[in-house]
A and B are shown apart, each in its own frame.
Chain A
Amino acid sequence: MGVSTLTQIVLDDTRTKLREVFLGMYILILSFCFVVDTEYSILPQSLIVFRGYALSCAFFAYAEGYKGFQLKFSPLVVKRSLSLVIGSRQGTVLNYILAPLYSMGLIHATKKRMIISWSVTLGVAGIVVLVKRLNPIARCIIDAGVVVGLTWGSLSIVAILIQSILTGRPPAVDACLPETGPIKKD
């Protein structure tokens, strides 16, 4: 049995466990919402809307928090921040000062990464403007999901950073650093 097979098995196992955790969380949120709604009447209005609130939280937790942040964005941020070393090509004063932007791939990245990062940033800004124009109920439902997703993302960045420091290994993702120029091959 090769190392890759073992890794695949571990990954599959982790995925299954994560799915179970996510399902459990979803049921917990729904149960909590139901209890709160029926017992304490925090929301005296329609249960459907309150469930929409819970669904929004669950959806953003999975789509934004887990799929977007935990699997893609957070490892990239940690990897890029770890690549910020003086003496390397990317260890410039500007990159140090704007380290958060550098880590997010907004500066000093491959063309593709920069296009993606700037598009996502501008897209989110556009969505924020649109959400502000929604009615208060829809807005609070969406914002609740956004809070859950962003909290998940922040925690995942911290967790991956701690993991990288403890294990001494950076996340196994491409840092999307720009090419250093033509290298002649003999």
Chain B
Amino acid sequence: MSRRLIESQTTTLTLLALFLLVTITFTSAEGFSIRTFPRQQQRNTQNLYLFNRRRLQTLTIMSPSSPSRLDTSSSSSNNLHPMSVLRGGATSAAATSSSDLAESKCPVSKTMAIFGTFWGSLGVVYILAKAIKRVLPIALEPFTGSLILSPLQWV
């Protein structure tokens, strides 16, 4: 009995260690492989600013109702804000919206995303299943006949 227990514990620990190793390796590899381009982002922002400025200069002579009027309050400039750049080059807006669920082109990212999805969802199911397993024998006691009480106790 104890040997079995030790064996199962060893297996669990080995699996956990393996999982940890794989996760750390993949995360590190991903961190090194993804280009964040902080300077490029800043340059893009500067370029956009200059571009907007030039357009504004030209647009001042245009009528206000012109459809090509530049919308300076658009979120496009916000998306390029350096403060909003997250790990892996994702923007904050992307991280909180449904677009963060978009598939990545990197196979490792894809694999880890699928793994995370299944581990996250089915892990919860496993926790619930454990609870069901623990509670089920008690719930089935009236059917199994181990809980035979007097009518007075039932009432």
User: A residues engaging B (CB < 8 A)?
Assistant: 42-46, 48-50, 53, 77-78, 80-93, 96-97, 99-100, 102-104, 135-137, 139-140, 143-144, 146-147, 150-151, 153-154, 157-158, 161, 170, 175, 177, 179-186
| Chain B residues whose C-beta falls within 8 Å of the C-beta of A175 in the assembled complex | 96
Tell me the bound Cα distance from A129 to B148 in angstroms.
Answer: 24
Closest to A45 in B: B154
Given contacts A96-B23, A183-B83, contact A87 B139 (CB under 8 A): no
Q: Are B26 and A46 in contact (CB under 8 A)?
A: no
B91 CB, nearest partner CB in chain A, Å: 9
A53 CB, nearest partner CB in chain B, Å: 7
Q: Are B83 and A184 in contact (CB under 8 A)?
A: yes
Q: Are A88 and B121 in contact (CB under 8 A)?
A: no
Q: Are A45 and B109 in contact (CB under 8 A)?
A: no
Q: Are B19 and A97 in contact (CB under 8 A)?
A: yes
Closest to A99 in B: B120
Closest to A144 in B: B139
Q: Are A186 and B78 in contact (CB under 8 A)?
A: yes
Tell me the bound Cα distance from A46 to B34 in angstroms.
Answer: 68
Q: Are B124 and A100 in contact (CB under 8 A)?
A: yes
Closest to B147 in A: A136
Q: Are B109 and A181 in contact (CB under 8 A)?
A: no
| Chain B residues whose C-beta falls within 8 Å of the C-beta of A89 in the assembled complex | 86-87, 90, 92, 95
- Pick from A42, A80, A87, A136: contact of B89, CB under 8 Å: A87
* 1/0 contact string of B84-119 vs chain A (CB within 8 Å): 101111101011101011001000110011001111
Tell me the bound Cα distance from A136 to B72 in angstroms.
Answer: 69
| Chain B residues whose C-beta falls within 8 Å of the C-beta of A80 in the assembled complex | 120
Tell me the bound Cα distance from A72 to B118 in angstroms.
Answer: 19
Given contacts A154-B129, A158-B125, contact A45 B104 (CB under 8 A): no
B120 CB, nearest partner CB in chain A, Å: 3
**With contacts A87-B109, A181-B92 known, what are 4 further pairs, Cβ within 8 A?**
A46-B155, A78-B121, A140-B139, A158-B125
A26 CB, nearest partner CB in chain B, Å: 18
A45 CB, nearest partner CB in chain B, Å: 4
| Chain A residues whose C-beta falls within 8 Å of the C-beta of B135 in the assembled complex | 143, 146-147, 150
In the complex, the 5 A-B pairs of residues with the closest C-beta atoms, listed nearest first: A87-B88, A81-B120, A100-B123, A84-B116, A180-B92
| Chain A residues whose C-beta falls within 8 Å of the C-beta of B138 in the assembled complex | 139-140, 143
Q: Are A49 and B108 in contact (CB under 8 A)?
A: no
Given contacts A88-B88, A89-B90, A181-B83, contact A170 B78 (CB under 8 A): no
Tell me the bound Cα distance from A161 to B121 in angstroms.
Answer: 7
Tell me the bound Cα distance from A81 to B121 in angstroms.
Answer: 6
Given contacts A42-B142, A88-B86, contact A96 B123 (CB under 8 A): no
